[in-house]
Amino acid sequence: MHRVTLDTRLDDCPLGRVTAAHDVTLTTPYWNLSPETGQCDLWVEASSPGRSQLEAGIRALRDADGVRRFELKWKRGSHATAHVVLEETVAIETVMANGGAVIAPFRDRDGWERWHLGFAEPDAAAATLDSLDRRYELTVVEQTPLTDSGAAAVFRNFHEAATLLDGCERLTETEARVLRTAVEHGYYETPRGESLASLGDRCGVSDVAISKTLRRAERKLLGAAVSALAGLDADRDPPTGRPGDGG
């Protein structure tokens, strides 16, 4: 199997047009294409820096050309979830015609849509990219054969990968910034390239505040990592017996 990651501007997709015009990010974790109707059934997660930007974005999506159904399911602060039905795009039609499949959520931001596609053969991937490149503006981010052990491991251990990502997403903006600064400037190296005091000076806060922020960030990430490791260990452990074996 061959995996392709690409960024593209789809002028016939309402999601791309909405994110080009509004400060909103649209992520599509679940979708289904109906061959009978030629429509795409989507669940869309919307997020924005603030509530007003979110409101403008979801109104634009609701009213966009090509949207056949829009149902707001949930909204809180600057995040919302909607059920959306769209007309099939030429891009999806091209992927399907070449035997390809969408293997990860779509993400639309600033008019660009990130796609992760899977193909049985590299020739099918090449034919799809050639067709898409004639119709759309696109950039190929990565092409990976899934015989590669690292790439295949993500699919074998999807739940554990999602657990790690959840840990990252639980970090606040401040926690992520302080942790990134600490790593970049050698706080976790041996010997340390940065002390708590110097890291605090760099971030404009006290060493006590830096210490507390790092501990919160580490607790979230380490908790996610330990949960992921437990899942990996469970998959590696051989079964102790067959179903139905006695006590």
Whole-angstrom distance, CA of residue 13 vs CA of residue 42: 12
CA 229 to mean position of chain CA atoms: 21
In the chain, which ranges are E strands?
A: 2-9, 25-34, 39-47, 67-76, 79-87, 101-102, 106-109, 112-119, 137-145
State mean pLDDT over 183-191: 93
Q: What is the pLDDT of residues 103-154, one digit of tens each?
A: 888 999 999 999 999 998 889 999 999 999 999 999 999 988 766 555 556 6
The answer to whether residues 32 and 1 touch, using CB atoms and an 8 Å cutoff, is no
- pLDDT for 64 beyond 60: yes
Q: What is the pLDDT of residues 193-239, one digit of tens each?
A: 999 999 999 999 999 999 999 999 999 999 988 988 887 776 665 55
**Mean of pLDDT values over 83-91:** 92
Query: Bigger pLDDT: 228 or 184?
Result: 184
pLDDT, average across residues 90-102: 91
What pLDDT is stored for residue 179 in this prediction? Answer: 94
Q: Tell me the domains of the chain and their CATH numbers.
A: 2-144 (no CATH), 157-236 (1.10.10)
Q: What is the pLDDT of residue 247?
A: 41
Quick one: what percent of the chain has pLDDT higher than 90?
64
- pLDDT of 52 > 90? The answer is yes
